[in-house]
């Protein structure tokens, strides 16, 4: 079983336990979809009144690939300046908008399609002729050029960046580093009995370690379910982001020395000895100036694009769905 601790067989920052959750597949959406996805996931009650009622899932027949409806009548009828959104387009877009309820997912998918259609119509009205870049579709290139042309955003000046830095100093501190060892008593989250037994075993081993801390490596070899036991439980040097979140939150609060209680994670219970702790230091402005500049630019850009999209919506003839202003404004 993987412990998710971040240790390696070589004791240099990863245990080599394997079985770590793989990253979810990344779907290459168009730039227009990305613009829509940056808008807050507002429900219909907040964003506007959806003028359609998708059918209940129980009434829908066996789906075709990527489709969730059995006939065209099951899909909302949406027109953007006279151009109808097709059921196929809705079905394709719907997969990018998971939600607790089908009506919410449908609203978000249709909103994204409406925005993309408005952007494409604006590109045609201006007769934009753009050459697509590497890995970019002609549609993506046209919309990118449209936004650059009609939503000019100035870069933040140095004074604004420096003010942001001095007002947010705690954000610009390097992460602490730990050198630690652990003994993993593995058990699955669903097995309550096994977790109870592991907790009791952990308490017993902890008592022994409190009396004889020099036996940590010996006990790790005898009891740990992590491959790091071959190195006496050594996890190597750890920084934030290398371990599972619930373990990390507890670990980085610990002082140097034997941790006074077992730390619980999805993988079981960990007995931990922090060998060394290096606190984070304040980063100089010069080290973070570029990231601050990018963040401030992105904030202004998002607001400007949201306003631009709202103007397109207000000037368009959209049938079948009502997009209120709040739906297109980024979260504050």
- Please give the pLDDT value at position 22: 38
How does pLDDT run across 60-90, given as a tens digit for each residue? 333 333 334 444 457 889 999 999 999 999 9
| pLDDT tens track for 239-298 | 988 999 999 999 999 999 999 999 999 999 999 999 999 988 999 999 999 999 999 999
- Predicted pLDDT of residue 46: 35
- The DSSP symbol for 136 reads -
Task: Please check whether residue 242 is in contact with residue 182, taking contact to mean a CB–CB distance below 8 angstroms.
Answer: no
pLDDT average, residue stretch 116-140: 91
pLDDT 10s digits, 28-53? 333 334 444 444 443 333 333 334 43
Summary mean pLDDT of the chain:
81
Q: Which helix (H) or strand (E) holds 276?
A: strand 268-278
Spans of all domains in the chain: 31-157+297-328, 179-278
pLDDT single digits (tens) 3-29: 666 555 444 555 544 444 433 333 333
Distance separating alpha carbons of residues 129 and 254, to the nearest angstrom: 59
Please name the CATH architecture into which domain 179-278 falls: Roll (3.10)
User: DSSP assignment, residue 288?
Assistant: H
Question: How confident is the model over 93-126, as pLDDT tens digits?
Answer: 999 999 989 889 999 999 999 999 999 999 999 9
């Amino acid at each position: 079983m993987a412990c998710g601790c971040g240790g390696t067989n070589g004791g240099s920052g990863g245990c080599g336990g394997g079985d770590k959750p793989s990253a979810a597949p990344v779907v290459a959406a168009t730039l227009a979809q990305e613009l829509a996805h940056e808008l807050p996931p507002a429900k219909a009650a907040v964003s506007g009144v959806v003028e359609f009622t998708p059918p209940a899932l129980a009434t829908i027949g066996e789906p075709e690939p990527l489709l969730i409806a059995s006939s065209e009548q099951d899909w909302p009828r949406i027109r953007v300046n006279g151009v109808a959104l097709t059921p196929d387009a809705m079905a394709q877009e719907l997969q990018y908008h998971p939600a607790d309820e089908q009506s919410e997912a449908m609203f978000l998918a249709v909103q994204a399609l409406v925005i993309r259609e408005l952007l494409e119509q604006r590109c045609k009205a201006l007769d934009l002729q753009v050459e697509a870049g590497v890995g970019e579709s002609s549609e993506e290139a046209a919309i990118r050029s449209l936004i650059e042309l009609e939503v000019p955003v100035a870069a933040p000046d140095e004074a604004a960046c420096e003010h942001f830095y001095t007002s947010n100093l705690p954000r610009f501190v390097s992460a602490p580093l730990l050198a630690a060892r652990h003994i993993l008593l593995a058990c699955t989250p669903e097995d309550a009995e096994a977790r109870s037994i592991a907790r009791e075993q952990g308490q017993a081993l902890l008592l022994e370690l409190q009396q004889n801390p020099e036996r940590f490596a010996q006990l790790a070899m005898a009891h740990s379910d992590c491959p790091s036991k071959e190195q006496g439980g050594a996890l190597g040097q750890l920084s934030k982001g290398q371990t599972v979140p619930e373990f990390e939150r507890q670990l980085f609060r610990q002082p140097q020395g034997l941790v006074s209680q077992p730390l619980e994670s999805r993988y079981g219970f960990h007995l931990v000895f922090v060998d060394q702790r290096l606190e984070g230091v304040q980063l100089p402005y010069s080290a973070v100036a570029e990231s601050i500049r990018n963040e401030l630019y992105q904030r202004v850009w998002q607001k400007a694009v949201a306003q631009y999209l709202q103007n397109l919506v207000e000037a368009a003839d959209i049938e079948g769905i009502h997009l209120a202003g709040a739906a297109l404004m980024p979260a504050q």
